[in-house]
Structures are given as C-alpha cells and as structure tokens.
Amino acid sequence: MTLKNIPNHLAVIMDGNGRWAKKRNLDRICGHIEGIKSLKSVIKGVIEHKIKYLTVYAFSSENWQRPSEEVDSLMQLLDEYIRLELPYLIKNKIRLNFIGNIGRIPEESKSTLLEAVKKTKNFGALNLTLALSYGSKEEILNAVSKIAEDFKEGRIDIEDINDGFFSSYLYTAGIPDPDFLIRTSGECRLSNFMLYQAAYTELYFTKTLWPDFRKKNLTAALKNYEKRVRKFGKTEI
Ligand code: IPE
Ligand code: IPE
Ligand code: MG
C-alpha cells in the first residue's frame, strides 16, 4: 500500500514486553524475546513503506537499575539479535548505528554491535539506529560539556551556537529529527527519549503491547500520521 505522506524518520519506544509476559504467566525475558519478533516485523514494514530512518529505543540509561538477571538477559539478547540479523541487514542494505552511552554495554555485546556497525557503514537503504543505554538528559549534558570545552580551547565562538550546531553535538548528529514517534503499551510519556530532537515530532500512543505490535499495526499508525497537519508554529496553509 502506498501512503501519501510517509515520515522520513520514525522513532519507536518499544514498551510493554514485561506486561505481555506477565499476562501469560511467563518470565519477563519471554516478553523481550517476543519483542524481537515485533522489531523484525516492523523493520520489514519500514522497508516496504520506504522509510529512510528508523530509531528504536531498546534500553534506556535508567534501565540499568533493573534486576541484574534482566539486564544480563537483555544484553545477551542484543548480542544474539545482531549476530542473527546481520546477514539480513547486509542483504537489505541496512546501515546499523547506535545512540547512547555504550561504554556501559558488556564487552562481548559491544564488539558484536561495533562490528555490525562497521560492516554496514556504506549502506543507506534504511538507517536503523538502536538507542542503547540511551538517556536524553545525559546526551544534552554531554553536548553542553563538549561545547564548553571547545569554547575554552578557542575552537568555537558563542555566535556559532544555533540549532544545527547544537544538534551536531548530540548522539544523533547527522540523523534528522524524528517526524513520527510511536510508543506502545499505553504509557504516554517520553521516558528520557529524544527530548531535544522531538520538539516538533508527531506523537502516537497505542495500548498495544510491543510484542503484539507487528507490521499491520505499523501501517495503522502510518495511516494516522498521513492525516496529521504539521504546522511548526505557522498558520495552516
Ligand atoms: C520494554 O518493555 C523493553 C525495555 C524497557 C528494555 P518493558 O520491559 O519496559 O515492559 P513493561 O513496561 O514492564 O511491560
Ligand atoms: C522506556 O521504557 C525505555 C525503553 C522502551 C527501552 P521503560 O519501561 O523503561 O519506561 P518507564 O520506566 O515506564 O517510563
Ligand atoms: Mg516499560
């Protein structure tokens, strides 16, 4: 199906894995495993709809506070997902990237990630970005520190500081701001995701839990986006 108006950059907060598992009396990790199936299905949909940028919130800076068994399982799943999906990424010319403080990611998962980033760096049919150990407040503070350092060293002037300049100091440097953001599971908040970048993003909240959110749900969300009128503070034309 061809939609008239497709977002250039789609961002997704993949939430509700734990509740999906709880409803079935399963371990939370089973929800995360099923969630990976949703991610694969959504990526297929994103390719079909010819969306250029997809960013998925996979693990927040606050998620480190979860019980260590869950954190360990998630890091292992990340490793497995990238290993198993790499051939698919290469076949479909998908460039894999990440945003976040990956210094905290365990060595093995980190090297799998960095290897996949390297192997896909010349692709661009789709830019798939994993937000891992990502926190927007941390990202903004980090940018401010780097700008202060560059100013102190005389590399920049105060007049240089504008939106484009500031964006280039964020983890998302080079990635356009998201046009559309989907959050599953019924929570209506950003949970420290893209606070600067989402200034004019169209938001879509659905009660569907992430493991139940598949390609057809994406199409329904995109149909909703198709009807949105984006005004950016101007009058409607
Ligand atoms: C989202 O699902 C995945 C991560 C945050 C890693 P949750 O694990 O937050 O699931 P709920 O919100 O507890 O249902
Ligand atoms: C946001 O979900 C982070 C990810 C989906 C990776 P959380 O489940 O961590 O968010 P809160 O705690 O409900 O705000
Ligand atoms: Mg959650």
Q: Report in angstroms the alpha-carbon separations of 197 from 66, 106, 122, 202, 211.
A: 26, 28, 25, 11, 26
20 touches 212 (CB < 8 A): yes
The pLDDT value given to residue 2: 86
Q: How far is the CA of 210 from the centre of ligand 3 (A)?
A: 10
Whole-model pTM over 0.85: yes
Residuewise pLDDT in 10s, the chain (237 residues): 789 999 999 999 999 999 999 999 999 999 999 999 999 999 999 999 999 999 999 999 999 999 999 999 999 999 999 999 999 999 999 999 999 999 999 999 999 999 999 999 999 999 999 999 999 999 999 999 999 999 999 999 999 999 999 999 999 999 999 999 999 999 999 999 999 999 999 999 999 999 999 999 999 999 999 999 999 999 976
Instruction: Report the pocket of ligand 2 as residue ranges, CB < 6 Å.
Output: 13-15, 57-60, 63, 187, 189, 191
Q: Report in angstroms the alpha-carbon separations of 122 from 48, 92, 102, 126, 186.
A: 21, 12, 22, 11, 37
Catalytic one of 27, 63, 92, 142: 63
Nearest alpha carbon, ligand 2 atom 12: 191
pLDDT digits (tens, 9 = 90+) for 56-75: 999 999 999 999 999 999 99
Dist CA 224 CA 227 (whole Å): 6
Nearest alpha carbon, ligand 2 atom 14: 191
The pair phi, psi for residue 210, each rounded to 5°, is -50, -45
Dist CA 111 CA 76 (whole Å): 12
Looking at ligand 2, which atom is closest to the CA of residue 131?
A: 6
- The bound ligand whose nearest atom lies closest to the alpha carbon of 12 is 2
Nearest alpha carbon, ligand 2 atom 2: 15
Contacts of 190-194 with C-beta under 8 Å, sequence gap 24+, read 190/13, 190/136, 191/13, 191/15, 191/57, 191/60, 191/62, 192/60, 192/61, 192/62, 192/134, 192/135, 192/136, 192/137, 193/11, 193/13, 193/57, 193/60, 193/131, 193/134, 193/136, 194/11, 194/55, 194/136
Instruction: Tell me, yes or no, if 15 is annotated catalytic.
Output: yes
Parse the chain into domains and list their residue ranges: 9-134+180-225
CATH of 9-134+180-225, one of 3.40.1180.10, 3.40.50.2300, 3.30.70.270, 2.90.10.10: 3.40.1180.10
Dist CA 108 CA 81 (whole Å): 13
- The bound ligand whose nearest atom lies closest to the alpha carbon of 70 is 1
pLDDT digits (tens, 9 = 90+) for 181-215: 999 999 999 999 999 999 999 999 999 999 999 99
18 touches 31 (CB < 8 A): yes
Q: How far is the CA of 70 from the centre of ligand 2 (A)?
A: 14
Could you write out the DSSP letters of every residue in 17-53? HHHHHHHTT--HHHHHHHHHHHHHHHHHHHHHTT-SE
Q: How far is the CA of 15 from the centre of ligand 1 (A)?
A: 5
Instruction: Tell me, yes or no, if 72 is annotated catalytic.
Output: no
The pLDDT value given to residue 115: 98
